[in-house]
Structure 1
């Protein structure tokens, strides 16, 4: 069994499935995907991801505000976030973090929001899902400052081994997406070979970043199988071994998720 540990089910391009989310999820299930974590990115989509988790027994969700979804002068509040986290199918916080690639001018606003999410993680014990791009030093500094007692995950990891090792030393997991299959991703493939087996997750980040051989098409949860197969070959292990290990890792990191093993 596989878990797509990070997907945006409310944003999928469902053209290939005649507009049906049910059909898209069935296609993933047919390829061995047994659970999906649907990610919150804003106050606006919190209700949507919760409703999807209520609708499907194999979908859980997170709630948070992505650093690129922050509105000027409209920071999320801790009371709002804690209230959202009370929902029984909200198993994680985020995605949150820092993105200086697109909005370096909003670094201070992003850092304030990231700290708020980390505070919520400390108060609730729920794991935090971290987005980081061109903000390596500040991301690690804030994670060290937070000193969370529980693990979290750096999702869709694209950084180098030094950052991966620093995050692993803080107890974090590393999640790899279809980017690891791209031709220019040699440095990331080096990271993928070195991440300890018990700290590795796989994801699609669909509808973004479809893996080879689907690159250029809208990404779908079913393609997490392609990511897992690529990683198994890269790491020199059987596919079933990698699928089982990453599913166990997901359950350990997200203990509230309703994962049903075959």
Structure 2
């Protein structure tokens, strides 16, 4: 295993971001209480001169982000996540097939075998706490691939329930369909809406079903008024924070590469939106992270 990121952004992402500023944003002021980044992709780099895994962990710890959930989205990434979590005490792992991986695997006749491998990885170490990210994506996958996404999603829900893992859900432009599948399958005891993107109505629908809502840098974006409304109606004990790094960098550095050390920008914005004391909100998010994922 290498300590540094092993994969660059996809060709599409590279092309769309080829002219943007890729310098590291400065470190923000440390938080008054530690929190965890509950969704990060350390195996995906953002430029040639980016953090190694050890550098990313150290930079995060310096500002009070002491724990990270490393998410693997395909078989290479899932294997890397397990290895990284076993090597670094600050990490635990999530393993799954991203919904946008499912159509290609299904077309090749490889989806079932790939999910079997995800199950093997999920049971290979007590450092694996999450089945995810799985779910549905109606933005990047057209109608022809959605049956495969649903089939994969159902299999991952079953894995999370049978293995007593946290289910981490990717939902892009698919709120109603995600909730329909959850209702049909029945949710596991612990499940998280990663990078929550709905409004207050969707938030209440998820909360009523027992979900935790994880907020990313998107909550700081100027056009995210509906998302901030969702944050306001979410109880303290259901809120998580994440980066989805290297993506979704919070303001004022939107478009530049993201990493766990920038979580304080999101936390401060969240506290301001809710009118909460920052230290109190951090302590609540930290306690909720342990309740959902366990100690590490």
- C-alpha deviations, 1:36-82, integer Å up to 9, x for none? 00001011211111111112101001000001122233214453232
Structure 1 residue runs without a partner (length 5+): none
How far did residue 214 of structure 1 move? Answer: 1.5
| Contact 1:3–1:33, Cα closer than 8 Å, also in 2 | yes
Verify: 1:25 aligned to 2:64, yes or no.
no
| Contact 1:12–1:206, Cα closer than 8 Å, also in 2 | no
| 1:2 equivalent among 19, 27, 35 | 35
Verify: 1:206 aligned to 2:239, yes or no.
no
| 1:91 equivalent among 129, 132, 135 | 129
- C-alpha deviations, 1:209-242, integer Å up to 9, x for none? 1000121201111111110111011111111111
> 1:75 maps to what in 2?
111
> 1:234 maps to what in 2?
273
Equivalent positions of 1:9-48 (< 5 A) are: 9-13=42-46, 19-48=51-80
Distance in 2 (CA, whole Å) between partners of 1:153 and 1:16 is: 32
Equivalent positions of 1:155-170 (< 5 A) are: 155-170=194-209
| Contact 1:81–1:120, Cα closer than 8 Å, also in 2 | no
Moved over 4 A (4+): 14-17
> 1:120 maps to what in 2?
159
Using the size of structure 2 for normalisation, the TM-score is 0.83
Name the SS for the 1:9 alignment partner: coil
How far did residue 149 of structure 1 move? Answer: 4.2
Distance in 2 (CA, whole Å) between partners of 1:200 and 1:16 is: 33
Structure 2 residue runs without a partner (length 5+): 1-33
Cα RMSD (Å): 1.5
How far did residue 3 of structure 1 move? Answer: 0.4
Using the size of structure 1 for normalisation, the TM-score is 0.93
| Contact 2:204–2:233, Cα closer than 8 Å, also in 1 | no
Distance in 2 (CA, whole Å) between partners of 1:76 and 1:10 is: 24
How far did residue 85 of structure 1 move? Answer: 1.1
Equivalent positions of 1:164-183 (< 5 A) are: 164-183=203-222
